[in-house]
A and B are shown apart, each in its own frame.
Chain A
Amino acid sequence: MKDQLDFMTQSVTSGKMTRREFMGKTAALGISAAVAGSMFARAAEAAGPVKGGTLKLGSIGGGSTDSLDPAVAASQVPYHNLYQFGETLVNVTPEGGIENRVAESVEASADAKTWTFKIRKGVEFHNGKPVTAEDVMRTMERHSNEDSKSGALGIMRGIESMKADGDNFVVSLTTPNADLPYLMADYHLMIQPDGGFDNPAAGIGSGAYMLEADEPGVRHMWKKNPNYWDDSRGHVDEVEIVVINDATARMAALQSGQVHIANRVEPKVAGLLDRAPNLTVRNAAGPGHYVFIMHCDTAPFDNNELRLALKYAINREEMVDKVLRGYGSVGNDMPVNAAYPLFDDSIPQRPFDPAKAAEHYKKSGHDGSPITLRVSDVAFPGALDAAQLFQQSANAAGIPLELKREPGDGYWSEVWNAQPFCASYWGGRPVQDQMYSTAYLSTADWNDTRFKREDFDKLLFAARGELDEAKRKALYSQMGMMVRDEGGLICPMFNDFIEATSSKVQGWVVDSTGDTMAGKWSHKCWLA
């Protein structure tokens, strides 16, 4: 039987046998469809990328209000559009390392304060102009200047000066930062001609695909850039991003073959989809986490005993089982997990412990009045269910948790970062420094737990300038413990990214750094 199988996989590899034939013949040998399917996929992968075709993504998170301006991209469809036409200086690899893109090399000074990015030769914008260090500098200027409305403004703050020096783009920082390349990989920072000052929404960059049709809220068509510098990426002729915000419609479009990839698969249907013969569910453990946040400076949450009581009163396993249906992992009341390069996995996991919760609750001296948790399913899918589970386990521990259902519309402006206790979601960041600087530094704009600790800030700055990995890891571990035991974050779970693809999609890579292969699906996948 082994000979037959080898022969058949060879036929597949050389393109002589279709999937249908393969499945039929393996079934005759008594091999189950699931096993045969993965064998076929492996054989087809081995044949190497196939060029051509139109790869279609059905995506949530698009609207007729969308723009191609990288500065304002905030939801999935604009995010995926950016990765079609644009390219950043560097990428974060699926393994969490740094891969050079527009930059050919990256070098830091010994004190990690001055960074030199050498710009790759022969990279061209879609309008035919070569990419220069000047363009790179102008791009960074647009995202960092005082008038910027860019979503990347926050991460550009530590920059003291920038200059274009021949082929080099040189950044000087106010304080050392060993993670600067990770910041430069941010999706807002797509290099545009003259920084995109004249027409940021033109969709012109140096990426693998060029704009063909732009219908915000409906679809976006991209065609292969014939002058793209990297032959190993961008296999299909055309990429179509179809906006399908409705989850049921998105899954139907995938099942009926109208799109090849559907993102944001709901955990409750993922198991069912995976059973369909020509579909594959792809999940990747990511840095995204579903949380309940308490303001550390607002009563009654300014009392650490009460915060600890609530942290012990949540049943994390139950939530991962029931809300995520297993597509995720338990959190430990800090915003980082194993998806981060310098994560310390020896930090003990906080268990669900009603007795301990009751003890801390008693110590807190809370007057017994109901504690209001504000929640909406906009915070994260299944937030209402999760809050109800939390309420039950808290009440069992004698903590009177009360839920207030908030309207989804306006949730991010009226409730999140405004009310003292609510449900929320964090997409995570590529490195711990960025995650902590974004939301846990005393002066951070998005410090949604109002965690303001000078000693924590000092550790953060120390870790940022530390080039010795072991020492940095120890510092981050210390910071993690601080947030876990004294912070305002209740983090019951980290959610997986769940996408589903048709079996035609080959070359898929499990990438925990972002949604749908961190935006690089069209660069690395091909159609069998």
Chain B
Amino acid sequence: MHPVVKLVSQRLALGLILLIAASVLIFMGTLILPGDVAQSILGQSATPEALANLREELGLNEPAILRYFDWLFGALQGDLGTALTNGQDIATSIGRRLGNTLFLAFWAAVISVPLAIFLGLLAVRYRDRWPDKLISAVTLASISIPEFLIGYLLIYFVAVQMGWFSSVAMINDSMSLLEKLNAIALPVAVLTLVVLAHMMRMTRAAILNVMQSAYIETAELKGLSTFHVIARHAFPNAIAPIVNVVMLNLAYLVVGVVVIEVVFVYPGMGQYLVDHVSKRDVPVVQACGLIFAAVYIVLNMIADIVAILSNPRLRHPK
């Protein structure tokens, strides 16, 4: 078998195993949480009878392992079941939430990824001179401030004081694309600031690393312009680590933005998951957990496969 095909298929199989392992871990995690869904639904107003009746109704008296497999087989057939807490169809609710999350992540990525790579290239071009230092300082400062604080600062100055954008980034189906973009402007800005530094620094480091190579020296000696050397000779060889960090940040944009969702009241997956964890609504937690795990695994897999494909030694086996 061609080594590239072999490596790629191995990587795919590993991804699948990871996904199953993740589902088991998620399930065990939900089991060790204190209290159960019946207790959480009724809260402080739970009487023993009401609790018992609700547990019976929700099927919580069945063994955990049975509930897990019930759910897993349903999920394999595309049926995620209904939420224990309010009886809503999980697939429908997740569909809407996931759509919102991807919408936010997409626009944050569209702005941050090209910007980060461009800034990284710029920093290399002007290495150790003021543009490099300025870019590093600004991006490092923005990554060092907690994201909720950036969010609050933007809300205070841009939304409350100046009134340019709304502080509540709530989107719904009846809004036009332009209205939606206006609504998510502030969270996109925060997310961009949060992920920019990581990607920019990695781009800069990866290209600088390649710049030490002998063939770059050759290119320079040929008399090519610095920009040409960076863009045509160094950058393609630095793709693997850059893609890696880009994927990691994309994954963060999808699964790690719960704080931003809370601050901007954005109806995404993170808040949805947190609500259901706190209510011990296991089927929903499972479904969200699996989707998050899948996002991470798929994106990392893409990064690895790109790395494999971009490796000249594998592409041209002896």
* Cβ contacts A214-254/B at 8 Å (1 or 0 each): 01111100000000000000000000001111101100110
Partner of A67, one of B47, B85, B271: B85
Segment from B63-71, B199-207, B257-265 that makes contact with A: B257-265
| B41 proximal to A (CB < 8 A) | yes
Q: Which B residues are CB-close (under 8 A) to A72?
A: 41-42
Are B87 and A201 in contact, CB atoms less than 8 angstroms apart? Answer: yes
Taking CB atoms and an 8 Å cut-off, the chain A residues in 26-82 that contact chain B are 58, 63-67, 69, 72, 74-75
Q: Which B residues are CB-close (under 8 A) to A259?
A: 168
Are A410 and B35 in contact, CB atoms less than 8 angstroms apart? Answer: yes
Are B50 and A249 in contact, CB atoms less than 8 angstroms apart? Answer: no
Are B44 and A409 in contact, CB atoms less than 8 angstroms apart? Answer: no
Distance in Å: Cβ of A526 to nearest Cβ of chain B: 23
Distance in Å: Cβ of A262 to nearest Cβ of chain B: 11
| B146 proximal to A (CB < 8 A) | no
| Docked CA distance A409–B33 (Å) | 9
* Cβ contacts B153-187/A at 8 Å (1 or 0 each): 00110011001001110101000000000000000
| A151 proximal to B (CB < 8 A) | yes
* Cβ contacts B239-279/A at 8 Å (1 or 0 each): 00000000000000000000000111101000110011011
Are B49 and A153 in contact, CB atoms less than 8 angstroms apart? Answer: yes
| A298 proximal to B (CB < 8 A) | no
| B48 proximal to A (CB < 8 A) | yes
| A414 proximal to B (CB < 8 A) | yes
| Docked CA distance A65–B166 (Å) | 26
**Identity of the chain A residue whose Cβ is nearest the Cβ of B274 in the assembled complex:** A63
Are B265 and A74 in contact, CB atoms less than 8 angstroms apart? Answer: no
**Identity of the chain A residue whose Cβ is nearest the Cβ of B51 in the assembled complex:** A149
Are A252 and B159 in contact, CB atoms less than 8 angstroms apart? Answer: yes
Distance in Å: Cβ of B169 to nearest Cβ of chain A: 10
Report, as a range, how many residues of chain A touch the other chain.
Answer: 35 or more
| B74 proximal to A (CB < 8 A) | no
Known: A149-B57, A246-B262, A414-B35. A65 touches B47 (CB 8 A): no
| A4 proximal to B (CB < 8 A) | no
| B40 proximal to A (CB < 8 A) | yes
**Identity of the chain A residue whose Cβ is nearest the Cβ of B39 in the assembled complex:** A413
**Identity of the chain B residue whose Cβ is nearest the Cβ of A213 in the assembled complex:** B172
| B93 proximal to A (CB < 8 A) | yes
Are B42 and A151 in contact, CB atoms less than 8 angstroms apart? Answer: yes
| Docked CA distance A255–B264 (Å) | 14
Q: Which A residues are CB-close (under 8 A) to B170?
A: 218-219, 242
* Cβ contacts A409-421/B at 8 Å (1 or 0 each): 1101110100000
| A367 proximal to B (CB < 8 A) | no
- For the complex, would chain A's binding face be called helix, strand, loop or mixed by DSSP majority? loop
| B281 proximal to A (CB < 8 A) | yes
Are B263 and A65 in contact, CB atoms less than 8 angstroms apart? Answer: no
Known: A148-B53, A218-B170, A249-B168. A153 touches B265 (CB 8 A): no
Are A63 and B87 in contact, CB atoms less than 8 angstroms apart? Answer: no
| Docked CA distance A378–B93 (Å) | 28
Q: Which A residues are CB-close (under 8 A) to B212?
A: none
Are A153 and B279 in contact, CB atoms less than 8 angstroms apart? Answer: no
Are B85 and A151 in contact, CB atoms less than 8 angstroms apart? Answer: no
Known: A74-B41, A244-B265, A253-B167. A64 touches B275 (CB 8 A): yes
Are B53 and A147 in contact, CB atoms less than 8 angstroms apart? Answer: yes
Distance in Å: Cβ of B285 to nearest Cβ of chain A: 11
**Identity of the chain A residue whose Cβ is nearest the Cβ of B94 in the assembled complex:** A64
| Docked CA distance A232–B275 (Å) | 38
Which residues of B line the A interface, CB within 8 A?
Answer: 33-36, 38-45, 47-50, 53-54, 57, 83, 85-88, 93, 96-97, 152, 155-156, 159-160, 163, 166-168, 170, 172, 262-265, 267, 271-272, 275-276, 278-279, 281
Show 11 A/B contacts (Cβ-Cβ < 8 Å), sorted by A. Answer: A63-B279, A150-B50, A151-B45, A213-B172, A216-B86, A248-B152, A249-B262, A249-B263, A256-B155, A413-B40, A446-B44
